[in-house]
Structure 1
Amino acid sequence: MAPSSSRRTTPRSRMTAAERREQLIEIARTLFAERGFDGASVEEVASRAEVSKPVVYEHFGGKEGLYAVVVDREVTVLLAMMREALTSGTSRALMEQATLTLLDYIEQQPDGFRILVRDSPIGSQGASFQSIIGDTASRVEGILVDQFKKRGLDHKTAPMYAQMLVGMVGTTGQWWLSADRKPDKRVVAAHLVNLAWNGLSGLEKKPGLVSEG
């Protein structure tokens, strides 16, 4: 008697190469967020994916290659959000948009942000949080150049101030994430912009150190 069709088991379909690659990236993303580059291992990525280590090496060449792919994806997401958010408007509005967008990213992709703010492995050629800071700062720089010229300040120092402002938001974002994203991001953004904007409004033309006066 032929076996009943209800008893037949359908073999589990194997993942395509593309599907396997995506699975490994997601697993690695979680591990890098939890433990950092040094704490994660190819062995654990393979174990969680239920594949052998050579499969991971075949796709990425090693942990460094896998890390680079994960970081590059996070950079792409954040920069896309920044480019979309920084629309036309007043200088203060643009600063508010940049601040809120970074906090939006932290809120929506906390694991991704944790990965970006960790130190990159020695010799890594991939993008990092510093590259994001640099890209965003270059956009803020244009805002500051206009403001500096209007206020009679040395506009050649604008790039330095842009790095300071964007770095301040990034550092505060780390604190906000560790504080369970409290207070509300709009409150945090408002205070960041308050410090940055009103600090800029009171800049001295030729600042010096009081202790060296």
Structure 2
Amino acid sequence: MHDFSSQGVLKAPQRRLRRTTAEIRALILEAARALFAERGFSGATTRHIATRAEVAEPLIFNNFGSKAALFAEAVIEPFNTRFSEFLANSDRLPPDRERRSAHFVHTLYPFLRDNADLLLALVKSNGEMEATALHGLDDYFSRAVARKREQYAQAALQFDVPPELVVRYAFGMLAGAVLFRDWFFPDEAPEEGVAEGALARMLFKATEPRQAEG
């Protein structure tokens, strides 16, 4: 079927603008992030991702090599980047424990809240593929544990809860507050400032040193 102008002149077919490699990669990453969050690693096939991104399926492999590599870049890398940035500023953390707890929550909770789809992708993909290390998060865990041990030793304090558990469960607390927010508060959720304040206070209490006997 030919396309004519209002004057009855046959229009020349419009050529689709050629997309750059960067644009194609961005489209694939956006589609992959959404589908991994919806269906998990196994449920989101490369065909589904290509269809959502409106690209040819071979372009996924040309740009990322494999679906596992695509998952790592779409889902894992944002976590690694954010926690690496957090660690880069760790030397400038507030000196007292209460302010450090608040800093941790106020810095990372908004990131998790704004990227809840990444958490969903991780949860829905658990056990479906070989573990891909969250290097930024793992590095944070290791350095946070070492820092807490040093701080407590300098103050001659003893841990009431092992720091290896505290730093991991602290992250889990923030992630759970994001993932289960609608279940926790089906009628009316607290204001974000109130939620962050409560989480910071809970974390502060969880890291209290062991009380001296007697």
- Is the TM-score greater than 0.5? yes
Q: Is the 8 A contact 2:75 2:122 kept in 1?
A: yes
Counterpart AA for 1:136: Y
Which has the larger share of helix?
1
Identify which range, 84-93 or 95-104, moves more after superposition: 84-93
Residue deviations 1:72-110 (CA, integer Å, cap 9, x gap)? 332244225534675331322122111122221123222
Q: What's the CA shift for 1:120?
A: 5.8
Change (3 A) 1:200 1:148: farther
TM-score, structure 1 normalization: 0.74
Distance 2:88 2:192 in 1: 19
**Where do residues 1-213 of structure 1 align in structure 2 (5 Å cutoff)?**
7-80=11-84, 82-83=86-87, 86=90, 87-89=92-94, 90-118=96-124, 119=126, 121-124=128-131, 126-128=132-134, 131-141=135-145, 142-143=147-148, 145-147=150-152, 149-150=154-155, 152-153=157-158, 157-176=162-181, 182-201=189-208, 203-204=210-211
> Does 1 or 2 have the higher relative contact order (CA < 8 Å, sep 6+)?
2
Q: Is the 8 A contact 1:110 1:177 kept in 2?
A: no
Q: What's the CA shift for 1:25?
A: 1.1
Distance 1:139 1:182 in 2: 33
Change (3 A) 1:132 1:117: farther
TM-score, structure 2 normalization: 0.74
Q: How many residues align?
A: 201
Unpaired runs of 5+ residues, structure 2, are none
Q: Percent identity?
A: 22
Distance 2:53 2:156 in 1: 58
Unpaired runs of 5+ residues, structure 1, are 207-213
Distance 1:138 1:205 in 2: 27
